[in-house]
A and B are shown apart, each in its own frame.
Chain A
Amino acid sequence: MAGLNHYLALSGLLFGIGATGVVLRRNLITMLLSIEVMLNAVNLSFIAFGRFLGAPDGQIIVFFVVTVAAAEAAVGLAIVIALFRHVESLNPDSFRELKG
């Protein structure tokens, strides 16, 4: 039987991979995907805590996190499209000027 520690360790591992992706990759789309990975790692720990506490609140918080992730993805991708239209690159190092 997989206990709470198993799930928390997996969640920490996935969060670490996501954080590594945000730091290492130089592509805005992959960085946004890494943020989604981190959100999912946190979701997993929420569900695991809710399961092992016998409470439904973990699942409901995950519901809200998914909503926030959808909003974040929509706005983030809109920003990526707007940036790409100015400078034809997805490399965050190429966005250095505040003036459009």
Chain B
Amino acid sequence: MAYNLILFYAFGAVAVAATVLVIAQSNPVYSVLLLIASFMALAGLYVLLDAPFVAVTQIIVYAGAIMVLFLFVVMLLNVPREEAVAGEIEAHESGSARAFGTLLTILMGVELAWALGSATRLGGRFAGGQRATAWTVREIGRILFTSYAFAFEATSVLILIAMIGAIALAGRHLAEKKPSPISHPQSPITAGSDKWPG
């Protein structure tokens, strides 16, 4: 089973490298595309963990739907570079705030180290309960619609509320009927119209 370890390190390296680059990029379009690469590597790890259903969900829902939504908003807002607010941050940044932030950072680092340390101790305890085969979609669906039926139904309400909220937040200008400052005059898409093209 050495190939398992090799694949883990390969997928893990891709995931970590892509995620670091997501944070390091100044252009959000590259960030989104690199995050899709990271999600693909994570899907590979899910396959290694005998969870093919989640791997496919990861690719279809995360990489296919959520990241496309991000990409769409990045293209819509058309702000490729991160601009710095010049010199305004230092003005109201006091020494005590800095000390407090440093303290919180150290606390979080200690907490993470402690959590990882105790996870290392836990590792041997879970070795016995492994299943020989992966869970099939049929089994997962049965559990989802019996034991987790309430949570599943609550999820549908959550999605409905999120949909209403998103439309109410982003589409407020449609009710107000005022020209939006988002339509840049230099943009070729919105140059012809004074209204938001929605």
Within 8 A of A (CB), among B36-84: 38-39, 42, 45-46, 48-51, 53-54, 57-58, 61-62, 65-66, 69-70, 73-74, 76-77, 79, 82-84
Residues of A within 8 Å of B126, CB to CB, are 4, 49, 52-53
Main secondary structure of the interface of A (DSSP, over half): helix
- How many chain B residues touch A (CB < 8 A): the figure is 83
The answer to whether residues A26 and B82 also contact, given A33-B70, A47-B51 and a CB cut-off of 8 A, is: yes
CA distance A2 to B50 in the complex (A): 13
Taking Cβ atoms with an 8 Å cutoff, the residues of B that contact A are 1-2, 4-5, 8, 12, 15-16, 19-20, 22-23, 25, 28, 31-32, 35, 38-39, 42, 45-46, 48-51, 53-54, 57-58, 61-62, 65-66, 69-70, 73-74, 76-77, 79, 82-85, 88-89, 108, 112, 115-116, 119-120, 122-123, 126-127, 129-131, 135, 139-140, 143-144, 148, 151, 155, 158-159, 161-163, 165-167, 169-170, 172-173, 180-182
